[in-house]
Amino acid sequence: MRILLDVMGGDHHPRELVKGGIEVGRLRDIEIAFAGDGRLIESALKEFGERANRSFHIVSCSQVIQMDDPPVRAVRSKSDSSMIKGLQELKSETIDAFVSAGNTGAVVAGSLFTLGRISGIPRPGILAPLPTLEGKDIFLIDAGATADCHGDHLLHFARMGSTYAREVVGIEAPTVGLLNIGGEQGKGNRLMTKTYSLLESADVRFAGNVEAHQLIRHRPVDVVVCDGFVGNVCLKTIEGSVSAVTSLLKRSIRQSAVAKLGALMMRGAFGELRSAMSYQQRGGAPLLGVNGIVVIAHGRSDAETIGSAIDVARREVEANLTEKISLAIPGAEHDGS
């Protein structure tokens, strides 16, 4: 299996991403290809005691899509960027999966232009694994690929999320909830009341509405469905809240010697909190609905995060996820089936 990593995206230096790729490549039976500035990649490989060979390829590119580039324009104008070159490798099947910590909008736009949608899928969705108190993740789709949605889009998010939970995570009969602002049917905005009816009669295990405060406390369902705008707000609110609580505690601790000692004694507890809530260990958010395995890693990805994103891609390839999604869409044409 060959997975390509776009090392020019994200807030960290390419060196950090190359490091993550090398670590996974050593651990797993995966060939890692790096797309980006060839000299930077070679020097990082050398630093970590590797060289370009059968296990570590280099796809050298001259352009970079920046984090704040307007996605569609960037995708159109930067054909020699690591992102577009990487997606073209995926399209031509010289690699099995593409992983990027770059500009999310550009990954979505680039995937749509280069790979196209799976037949029968109206819009792509980003599936974000969220931490829960239970320990098991809950899967939110869409976390930001499609900001304006119809009910039919959400129905397909439900199908794709269920397929992912079943085929990649191994949940036998995943339940699906609709992210809403009330528990009963009829609550919410027009999109949600319409989608509720669609999901009720659909080929998914629909468990009704779920509310945002339940998600990470109670894990009421396996997959939670919403439009990409709401999903992205939800995701960023969790990130901001967890980080605000941690900062507040740190600040209070710094103000008292006794509290400092107390915090030291609670180190284990804080470590558990960090690991439970960190995105480092759930660094990969699959972009579902496009014709190929694409995983978006967190913008602040370090080597560990990139490692877990590559691992998500590996599991998707092993599960043959693109075909499984295609088979889960009633009435769509199934290539080669």
Nearest approach, Cβ of 261 to a second copy (angstroms)?
6
Nearest approach, Cβ of 109 to a second copy (angstroms)?
13
Nearest approach, Cβ of 83 to a second copy (angstroms)?
18
* C-alpha distances in Å from residue 169, one per residue of 25, 282, 290: 22, 13, 19
Binding to a second copy, residues 294-313 (CB under 8 A) = none
Nearest approach, Cβ of 228 to a second copy (angstroms)?
8
Instruction: Single out the residue of 116, 200, 256, 318 in contact with a second copy (rule: CB under 8 A).
Output: 256
Instruction: Single out the residue of 192, 297, 321, 328 in contact with a second copy (rule: CB under 8 A).
Output: 192
Give residues with Cβ within 8 angstroms of 258, minimum separation 6: none
Give the three-state DSSP class for 300: coil
> Helices (DSSP H) in the chain: which residue ranges?
14-27, 38-47, 71-77, 82-91, 104-114, 151-164, 190-200, 212-218, 228-254, 257-265, 267-277, 303-319, 321-328
Query: What kind and span of H or E run contains 31?
Result: strand 31-36
Closest Cα to residue 276, out of 128, 101, 137, 127?
137
208 binds a second copy (CB under 8 A): no
244 binds a second copy (CB under 8 A): yes
Query: What kind and span of H or E run contains 206?
Result: strand 205-211
Instruction: Single out the residue of 66, 246, 281, 320 in contact with a second copy (rule: CB under 8 A).
Output: 246
Give residues with Cβ within 8 angstroms of 229, minimum separation 6: 144, 147, 148
Which of these ranges, 39-47, 55-63, 93-101, 265-273, lies near a second copy under the rule CB under 8 A? 265-273
Nearest approach, Cβ of 229 to a second copy (angstroms)?
5
Minimum CB distance to a second copy smaller for 119 or for 189: 189
Q: CB–CB of 282/117 below 8 Å?
A: no
Binding to a second copy, residues 120-139 (CB under 8 A) = 132-133
Instruction: Single out the residue of 109, 277, 294, 303 in contact with a second copy (rule: CB under 8 A).
Output: 277
238 binds a second copy (CB under 8 A): yes
73 binds a second copy (CB under 8 A): no
**Cis link prior to 142 (omega < 30° from 0)?**
yes
171 binds a second copy (CB under 8 A): no
175-180 and 31-36 strand pairing: unpaired
Instruction: Single out the residue of 234, 285, 296, 303 in contact with a second copy (rule: CB under 8 A).
Output: 234
What track of x and - describes contact with a second copy for positions 16 through 45 (by CB under 8 A)?
------------------------------
User: In the chain, what's the furthest Cα-to-Cα distance?
Assistant: 68
Query: What kind and span of H or E run contains 332?
Result: none
Binding region for a second copy (CB under 8 A):
68, 70, 105, 132-133, 144, 147-148, 179, 181-184, 186, 188-190, 192, 211-217, 226-230, 232-249, 251-253, 255-256, 258-259, 261-266, 268-270, 272-273, 276-277
